[in-house]
Amino acid sequence: AQSVTQPDIHITVSEGASLELRCNYSYGATPYLFWYVQSPGQGLQLLLKYFSGDTLVQGIKGFEAEFKRSQSSFNLRKPSVHWSDAAEYFCAVYNAGNMLTFGGGTRLMVKP
């Protein structure tokens, strides 16, 4: 069965520092991968997605992610974190059944 693992439950970074959130997937075919963000009281907002082609994808709010098939990873990065980036981040994969399978989420805290 397809699965997504986000190894880090919580991450704290200083404002202005770089960020990398890890995501590993288990999927036999070419995965369709997503990163969503959930701010307090908000729904799940799509940051970016990967279907095929260029393995480095750009998203909204200055985020990017790199698909690495050899490592079964799709890590999310941002060069300089802002306090407003504090939220929970979810990696997800489309499975064969046309539904999303989510990772457990990573809660990002930003120190001033």
Partner 1 sequence: EPEVTQTPSHQVTQMGQEVILRCVPISNHLYFYWYRQILGQKVEFLVSFYNNEISEKSEIFDDQFSVERPDGSNFTLKIRSTKLEDSAMYFCASRTLAGVRETQYFGPGTRLLVL
Using CB under 8 A, list all residues that contact partner 1.
32, 34, 36, 41-46, 49, 51, 90, 92, 94, 97-105
Nearer Cβ to partner 1, position 15 or 102? 102
Tokens in use for 52? 């095929």
Nearer Cβ to partner 1, position 1 or 70? 1
Contact 72, 55 (CB under 8 A): no
The CB-of-112 to partner 1 minimum distance in angstroms stands at: 27
Nearer Cβ to partner 1, position 16 or 104? 104
Query: Is residue 42 classed as helix, strand or coil in its secondary structure?
Result: coil
Nearer Cβ to partner 1, position 37 or 81? 37
The CB-of-53 to partner 1 minimum distance in angstroms stands at: 12
In sign, the C-alpha dihedral spanning 91, 51, 26, 93 is: positive
Regarding beta strands 44-50 and 73-78, do their DSSP bridges make them parallel or antiparallel, or are they unpaired?
Answer: unpaired
Distance CA 62, CA 76 (A): 11
The CB-of-14 to partner 1 minimum distance in angstroms stands at: 26
